[in-house]
Amino acid sequence: MNGEFTSIGELARILDMSQRTIRYYEEIGLLNSIKRIEGGRRIYTEADLRRLKLIKRLKIMGMTLSEMQELEAMWTYEKSNEKILKRLLELLGNHLKRLDDRIEDLDILRHEIKEYQERIRAKIGK
């Protein structure tokens, strides 16, 4: 983007994200610095691109939109990176714990499936 403004279509292409998703993030307050030109067409900046990349990364890590809205609200109210980063660490820690629990459950399931396969093979003589 090189510090220039870009359209929603170009931004969506760069991020591999739908235009509707970008508009939705704006509607729910996760992307709130959108500028408009004549005719009401949205234009996006490098800062908007960075914000959307962060939202995409946090979503991949399992954060919910409501958790992201909480962080945005904290920023709006507190204007403190330290408080936001501490809360982000807490949220990511919670997600990591749930992920570890899920992995443990999947390991147990894998073991049960293998045991069941062995019993079935023994019954059919293979």
4-48 pLDDT tens trace: 778 889 999 999 999 999 999 999 988 876 777 777 777 888 888
Rounded CA-CA distance 63/28 in Å is: 15
Q: Which two tokens stand for residue 17?
A: 């994200």
DSSP 14: H
Note whether 51 and 71 are same-domain residues.
no
**What residues pair up with 44 in beta bridges, in sequence order?**
6
SS3 51: helix
Note whether 47 and 94 are same-domain residues.
no
| Single pTM value for the model | 0.72
Note whether 67 and 120 are same-domain residues.
yes
Give the pLDDT of residue 41.
77
- What lies within 8 Å, CB to CB, of 66 at 6+ separation is none
Note whether 46 and 102 are same-domain residues.
no
Domain of 44 in residue numbering reads as: 1-60
Is residue 51 a contact partner of residue 11, using CB atoms and an 8 Å limit? Answer: no
Note whether 52 and 74 are same-domain residues.
no
